[in-house]
């Protein structure tokens, strides 16, 4: 059975806030539950808000309430605050001076309504601090330590969990091809094993053999290197790729082999490999 209007003597069905449609529209229009004033009868004028203790000017000449009390009456059906009447000695959230108000500012009010804790413990040094925008560390240095620990944990998982490695490689492969399609680069389906067999399982940057049993992200893991980097206009096709150690590939970067920025002597990552390359060049 529908509820009836909460106004005394009114038996109409309630629409919102316990009022029927007529009384609800009266509050909406004039801020009062009284009967509508005839258009031919002059309304009373007000110099200030009629709410107890309020000295603010009304929202209009004929409105009995200021903006704050008018909208409070529309939202809650009462002129009183939802929590307490005040005045307050200190901010309910941070404990600072609030000049009689419940909160010292909008930031404390918003955090209080969202249920945010006043302080949290840093994940690294366990020092109590005031979180900003959901921060979990108290400083940039602690954030860097947390990121390094997360990377070590991820790398250990990648080295020891074959199933995770397969899923990660599949995601990276899909993201790579999507990225290449966005910039309208030529993308050719390349078989890694075909390229590695073509190059005889030897690194084309350092000349050393590649161990096919090494797991990613080991530095000697077999990787696919673009001879002319994609950022320099190279194409992702069978003629522009070669086998390289992961370490050699990362050391080469986005510079083509043979340029002044990246040569076989300067860009190889390990001194022992550089000596072997120099020795082969001297005897050749």
Domain boundaries, the chain: 21-76, 186-283
For the stretch 25-51, pLDDT in tens is 777 766 666 665 444 445 678 888 888
CATH architecture of 186-283: Orthogonal Bundle (1.10)
pLDDT at 238: 87
Q: Is the pLDDT of residue 258 over 70?
A: no
pLDDT at 181: 59
Q: How confident is the model at residue 222 (pLDDT cuts 50, 70, 90)?
A: very high
Asked, as a colleague might, if the bond just before 87 is cis with ω within 30 of 0, I would say yes
The C-alpha atoms of residue 216 and residue 166 are separated, in whole angstroms, by: 10
CA angle, corner 35, sides to 49 and 38, nearest 5?
A: 95
For the stretch 88-111, pLDDT in tens is 788 888 888 888 888 888 888 887
For the stretch 180-197, pLDDT in tens is 655 555 567 788 889 999
The C-alpha atoms of residue 227 and residue 205 are separated, in whole angstroms, by: 10
Q: How confident is the model at residue 209 (pLDDT cuts 50, 70, 90)?
A: very high
Q: Is the pLDDT of residue 203 over 90?
A: yes
Smallest CA-to-CA distance from 34 within 61, 67, 3, 9 is with 9
Question: Are 248 and 205 spatial neighbours (Cβ–Cβ below 8 Å)?
Answer: yes
Pair of tokens at residue 103: 């909160």
3-class SS at 197? helix
Phi, psi of 236 (to 5 degrees): -90, 80
Report the chain's C-alpha Rg in angstroms: 36
Question: Is 75 or 221 the better-scoring residue by pLDDT?
Answer: 221
**Mean pLDDT (whole number) for 226-241:** 82
| C-alpha 128: how far from chain center | 23
pLDDT above 90: percentage of residues in the chain: 10
The C-alpha atoms of residue 73 and residue 200 are separated, in whole angstroms, by: 82
pLDDT at 102: 80
β-strand partners of 224: 243
């Amino acid at each position: 059975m529908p509820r009836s209007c909460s106004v005394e003597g009114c038996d109409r069905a309630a629409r919102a806030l316990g009022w029927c449609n007529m009384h609800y529209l009266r509050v909406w229009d004039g801020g009062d539950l009284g009967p509508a004033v005839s258009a031919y009868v002059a309304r009373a004028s007000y110099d200030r808000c009629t709410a107890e203790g309020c000295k603010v000017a009304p929202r209009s000449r004929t409105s009995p309430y200021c903006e704050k009390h008018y909208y409070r009456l529309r939202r809650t059906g009462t002129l009183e605050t939802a929590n307490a009447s005040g005045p307050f000695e200190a901010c309910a959230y941070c404990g600072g001076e609030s000049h009689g108000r419940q909160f010292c500012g909008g930031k404390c009010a918003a955090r209080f309504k969202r249920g945010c804790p006043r302080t949290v413990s840093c994940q690294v040094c366990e020092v109590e601090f005031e979180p900003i925008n959901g921060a979990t560390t108290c400083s940039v240095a602690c954030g860097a330590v947390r990121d390094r620990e997360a990377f070590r944990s991820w790398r250990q998982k990648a080295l020891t969990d074959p199933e995770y490695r397969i899923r990660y490689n599949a995601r990276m492969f899909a993201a790579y091809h999507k990225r290449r399609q966005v910039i309208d680069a030529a993308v050719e389906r390349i078989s890694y094993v075909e390229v590695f067999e073509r190059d005889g399982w030897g690194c084309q940057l350092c000349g050393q053999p590649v161990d096919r049993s090494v797991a990613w992200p080991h530095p000697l893991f077999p990787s696919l290197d673009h001879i002319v980097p994609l950022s320099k206009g190279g194409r992702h096709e069978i003629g522009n790729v070669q086998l390289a150690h992961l370490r050699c590939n990362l050391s080469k970067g986005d510079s083509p082999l043979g340029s002044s920025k990246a040569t076989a002597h300067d860009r190889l990552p390990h001194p022992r490999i550089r000596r072997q390359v120099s020795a082969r060049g001297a005897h050749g």
